Structure 1
Amino acid sequence: MSSQLTVTIDKLAIGGAGVARHDGLVIFVPDAAPGDELLIEITTKKKNFAEAQIVKVLKPGPSRRTPPCPIADRCGGCNWQHLTEDEQRRQKQLMVQETLAKFLPGMDLPFLPLKESPLSLRYRNRIQPKYSRGRFGFFARRSHEIVEAKDCPITEEKLTNEFAKIKAELDKKFRDTKETQRLEIYLDQSETPKWLLMGEEKEGVGFSQVNRFQNEDLIKTVLEWSEGADYERIFDFYAGGGNFTFPLAEKYRTQQIVAAELDSKLVQKAHEKIQAAGSLNKRMHYYLSDVASFMRRTQFQSKDLVLLDPPRAGADEYVMKALAQGSVAKIIYISCHPVSLARDLKYFFEAQAARSSSKPLKLKKIQCFEMFPQTDHVETIAELAVDTP
Structure 2
Amino acid sequence: MSAKSNQRGAKAPLLGSKIKLKIEKLAMGGAGVARHEGMVVFVPQAAPNEEVLAEVTLAKKNFMEARIVEVLTPGPSRREPPCPVAHTCGGCNWQHLNEDEQRKQKEAIVFETLKKFNRDLEFNYLPIQPSPRVLRYRNRIQPKFKNNRFGFFARNSHQIVETMDCLITEKTLTEHFAEVKNWAAAKNAKDLLRMEMYIAEEGDVRYGLITDEDDGIGFSQVNRFQNEDLLRTALDWAGDHAYEKVFDLYAGAGNFTFPLAQKYAGSEIIGVELNPKLVERARSKIHDKRMTYFMSDVETYMRRASIGKEDLVLLDPPRAGASEYTMQTLAAAQPRKIIYISCHPVSLARDLNWFFAHAQKMGVSYKLDRVQAFEMFPQTDHVETIAELRVDS
1:139-159: CA deviations, max 9, x gaps?
100011111001100000011
Q: Does 1:294 align with 2:308?
A: no
- Using the size of structure 2 for normalisation, the TM-score is 0.93
Partner of 2:236: 224
Find the aligned partners of 2:226 and 2:81 in 1 and give their Cα distance: 22
Find the aligned partners of 1:7 and 1:286 in 2 and give their Cα distance: 53
Which residue of 161, 168, 191 corresponds with 2:203? Answer: 191
Find the aligned partners of 2:274 and 2:179 in 1 and give their Cα distance: 35
For the structure 1 residues 169 and 290, does the alpha-carbon distance in structure 2 shift closer, same or farther, using more than 3 Å as the test? closer
Mean alpha-carbon deviation: is it higher for 72-81 or for 290-299?
A: 290-299
Kept in 1, the 8 Å contact 2:219–2:252? The answer is: no
Find the aligned partners of 1:201 and 1:143 in 2 and give their Cα distance: 24
Within a 5 Å distance, the mapping from 1:125-136 to structure 2 comes to: 125-136=139-150
Partner of 1:283: 290
Letter in structure 2 aligned against 1:150: M
Deviation at 1:254, TM superposition (A): 1.3
Kept in 2, the 8 Å contact 1:189–1:206? The answer is: no
Please, which runs of 5 or more residues in structure 1 have no aligned partner? none
Within a 5 Å distance, the mapping from 1:132-151 to structure 2 comes to: 132-151=146-165
Kept in 2, the 8 Å contact 1:186–1:206? The answer is: no
1:111-169: CA deviations, max 9, x gaps?
11111100000000011111111111111000111110011000000111111122223
Kept in 2, the 8 Å contact 1:17–1:32? The answer is: yes
- Using the size of structure 1 for normalisation, the TM-score is 0.94
Deviation at 1:295, TM superposition (A): 1.0
Kept in 1, the 8 Å contact 2:334–2:391? The answer is: no
- Look up the SS of the partner of 2:97 in the other structure: coil
Find the aligned partners of 1:270 and 1:168 in 2 and give their Cα distance: 33
Partner of 1:375: 380
Deviation at 1:201, TM superposition (A): 8.7
Kept in 2, the 8 Å contact 1:7–1:40? The answer is: yes
Q: Does 1:116 align with 2:111?
A: no
* Alignment size in residue pairs: 378
Deviation at 1:80, TM superposition (A): 0.2
Partner of 2:31: 17
Find the aligned partners of 1:45 and 1:201 in 2 and give their Cα distance: 40
Kept in 1, the 8 Å contact 2:218–2:277? The answer is: no
1:299-329: CA deviations, max 9, x gaps?
3211010001000000010011111111210
Find the aligned partners of 1:100 and 1:201 in 2 and give their Cα distance: 37
For the structure 1 residues 120 and 4, does the alpha-carbon distance in structure 2 shift closer, same or farther, using more than 3 Å as the test? same
Deviation at 1:195, TM superposition (A): 1.2
- Look up the SS of the partner of 1:114 in the other structure: strand
Deviation at 1:208, TM superposition (A): 2.4
Which residue of 324, 329, 332 corresponds with 1:317? Answer: 324
Letter in structure 2 aligned against 1:32: A
Find the aligned partners of 1:6 and 1:284 in 2 and give their Cα distance: 60
Find the aligned partners of 1:270 and 1:304 in 2 and give their Cα distance: 22
User: Considering only aligned residues, what root-mean-square deviation do their CA atoms show, in Å?
Assistant: 1.5
Letter in structure 2 aligned against 1:363: L
1:345-384: CA deviations, max 9, x gaps?
0000010111112xx2200010000100000000000000
Find the aligned partners of 1:387 and 1:254 in 2 and give their Cα distance: 25
Deviation at 1:264, TM superposition (A): 1.2
Within a 5 Å distance, the mapping from 1:1-389 to structure 2 comes to: 1=13, 3-174=17-188, 177-199=189-211, 208-274=220-286, 277=287, 280=288, 282-357=289-364, 360-387=365-392
For the structure 1 residues 19 and 308, does the alpha-carbon distance in structure 2 shift closer, same or farther, using more than 3 Å as the test? same
Find the aligned partners of 1:25 and 1:178 in 2 and give their Cα distance: 46
Deviation at 1:199, TM superposition (A): 2.9
Deviation at 1:200, TM superposition (A): 9.1
Kept in 1, the 8 Å contact 2:246–2:267? The answer is: yes
Find the aligned partners of 2:299 and 2:183 in 1 and give their Cα distance: 44
Kept in 2, the 8 Å contact 1:5–1:39? The answer is: yes
Q: Which runs of 4+ in 1 moved over 6 A?
A: none
- Look up the SS of the partner of 1:89 in the other structure: helix
Kept in 1, the 8 Å contact 2:138–2:223? The answer is: yes
Find the aligned partners of 2:388 and 2:158 in 1 and give their Cα distance: 40
